[in-house]
Structure formats: structure tokens, C-alpha cells
């Protein structure tokens, strides 16, 4: 949703309200990363409506936030508007970013370029640690992600690499993707939708406080069905299997 330019000041004030309440999600231990996805696969299988294929939206959207779910995300804080024609608001917004996160020169330059276009959001799993600055623009509503890390008493620094699951993507549309707290760590969660309703997948890329770790994924396959109009539809759950790496193995 676009914020009217007249409300930009309210967006600036919202920066100060970013706290540790942003995202919370699944438990991560020292076992192989696929164990995280194993817990997600088991949870998907245990849910009667998902097992029956009787739900709206994607699997990730339905698993996220349920009681007992290993994934519990939240909507990022919307902070600004398209500043291309609002130079004064743009400068004030950059100052607010600088005051909140104390970015290094390299991060500040990247932030200033990222917020030039589109709706701006910042996701912060915790007050300090990894953050994502997202800008959504264009007729396709494509979202670009920039990641940075903050530490108390130090300048926030740009994270130059993206999570493995979106490393080759300039921007994302028609996909759910966000930061999450994973136990005591953070990570990035995204989904992939097949060409028809019978295949979906969830990819998880943990962050260890220094680098992105190897991804794991859950391939979710439903039986093929048809609706009353004869169109392809989602049937009962056939399988939900975890694997290492961002590769998606389901086939439609």
C-alpha cells in the first residue's frame, strides 16, 4: 500500500519504533541445516487443512504464525514513500536512517540509492543484528532486498551478499519472502510456486551473525485435481520432504 507524500513525516517517526518484536520463528540447533526444514515438513504434514489441500494462499502463508508452528513471521514496518519528486522528504528520511542505524559510508550510500524509488520497508528481527531494507516499485510490484547488520555502539555495515535462495534474483514478485528469527539466530525464508497448484516449496537460509549459511528447503507436493470448471486445482497433500540446498525438487 502506498503512503501519501503528506504522511512521509509519520513514516520517519516510525523508524524509532523498530524493536526486537519484528520476527520470530523456528528453532535452530547445531545439527545439519536440513533439520530446520525437517521440522517445517513435519508441521505441514500434521495440519489437517493443509493435508486435505483445503486452504487459501500458499503453504508458507498458512504455516506462518499458527499455534505451534516453527515459522512465525510478521509484517515489516512500512517507513516511506517514493521520494523521487519529494527531495526535502528524501533528505529527511536519509537523516532518520542515519540517526537510527549509524550506517557506515558504504551502507549509507547504498541506503540512499535504495530508497529513491517505491514503497520502503525495513524488517528487523531484533534491535541489533541483521536487517533488511526492501523497496517495492514498478507495475509488477517487484521487491528489491538490501541487507545490513548493526551492533550496539558501532556503525551498521552493508551485507554484500544475498541469501542463497535469492542470490540470482534482481527483485522478487508473486513470492512470499522475509527475514525471520530462527531460535537464537536469524534467517531468510522464501517460497516458490509451481506452474500449477500441485507443487510448492519453502527455502530457508540461516544467518550466523557473520555470513549466510547453506540453505535447506521443503518440497510440498499435492495430488492433482480439477475444480468444477475443469481447471487444475490442488488436491490432498501427497508429500512434504526436506532437503539441503536451495534447489527445488518438486515436479508438476
107 lies in some domain: yes
The residues, any chain, with a CB within 8 Å of residue 25's CB and separated by 6 or more, are 70, 71, 72, 73, 180, 181, 182, 187, 189
Domain hosting 41: range is 5-14+23-244
* Confidence at residue 2, expressed as pLDDT on a 0 to 100 scale: 31
252 lies in some domain: no
* Confidence at residue 240, expressed as pLDDT on a 0 to 100 scale: 93
* Confidence at residue 16, expressed as pLDDT on a 0 to 100 scale: 44
- Number of domains the chain is built from: 1
The span from the CA of 244 to the CA of 252, in Å, is 21
pLDDT along the chain (252 residues), means of 10: 34 41 35 71 94 90 84 64 59 78 89 74 84 83 90 91 85 82 76 76 88 90 85 89 72 42
* Confidence at residue 44, expressed as pLDDT on a 0 to 100 scale: 94
251 lies in some domain: no
249 lies in some domain: no
- Give pTM, 2 decimals: 0.76
* Confidence at residue 100, expressed as pLDDT on a 0 to 100 scale: 83
* Confidence at residue 10, expressed as pLDDT on a 0 to 100 scale: 39
208 lies in some domain: yes
170 lies in some domain: yes
* Confidence at residue 35, expressed as pLDDT on a 0 to 100 scale: 78
The span from the CA of 144 to the CA of 138, in Å, is 11
Amino acid at each position: 500500500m502506498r503512503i501519501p507524500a503528506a504522511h512521509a513525516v509519520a513514516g520517519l517517526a516510525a523508524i524509532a519504533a523498530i524493536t526486537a518484536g519484528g520476527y520470530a520463528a523456528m528453532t535452530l540447533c547445531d545439527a545439519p541445516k536440513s533439520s530446520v526444514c525437517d521440522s517445517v515438513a513435519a508441521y505441514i504434514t500434521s495440519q489437517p487443512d493443509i493435508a486435505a489441500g483445503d486452504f487459501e494462499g500458499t503453504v508458507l502463508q498458512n504455516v506462518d504464525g499458527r499455534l505451534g508452528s516453527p515459522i512465525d513471521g510478521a509484517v515489516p514496518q512500512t517507513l516511506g514513500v517514493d521520494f523521487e519528486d519529494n527531495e526535502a522528504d528524501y533528505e529527511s528520511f536519509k537523516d532518520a536512517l542515519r540517526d537510527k542505524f549509524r550506517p557506515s559510508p558504504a551502507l549509507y550510500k547504498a541506503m540512499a540509492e535504495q530508497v529513491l524509488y517505491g514503497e520502503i520497508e525495513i524488517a528487523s528481527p531484533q534491535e541489533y543484528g541483521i536487517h533488511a531494507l526492501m523497496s517495492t516499485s514498478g507495475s509488477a510490484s517487484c521487491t528489491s532486498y538490501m541487507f545490513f547488520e548493526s551492533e550496539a555502539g558501532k556503525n551498521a555495515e552493508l551485507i554484500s551478499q544475498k541469501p542463497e535462495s535469492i542470490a540470482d534474483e534482481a527483485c522478487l514478485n508473486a513470492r512470499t519472502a522475509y527475514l525471520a528469527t530462527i531460535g537464537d539466530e536469524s534467517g531468510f525464508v522464501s517460497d516458490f510456486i509451481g506452474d500449477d497448484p500441485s507443487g510448492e516449496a519453502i527455502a530457508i537460509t540461516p544467518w550466523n551473525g557473520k555470513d549466510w549459511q547453506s540453505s535447506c528447503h521443503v518440497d510440498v507436493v499435492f495430488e492433482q485435481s480439477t475444480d468444477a470448471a475443469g481447471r487444475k486445482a490442488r488436491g490432498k497433500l501427497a508429500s512434504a520432504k526436506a532437503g539441503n540446498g536451495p534447489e527445488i525438487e518438486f515436479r508438476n
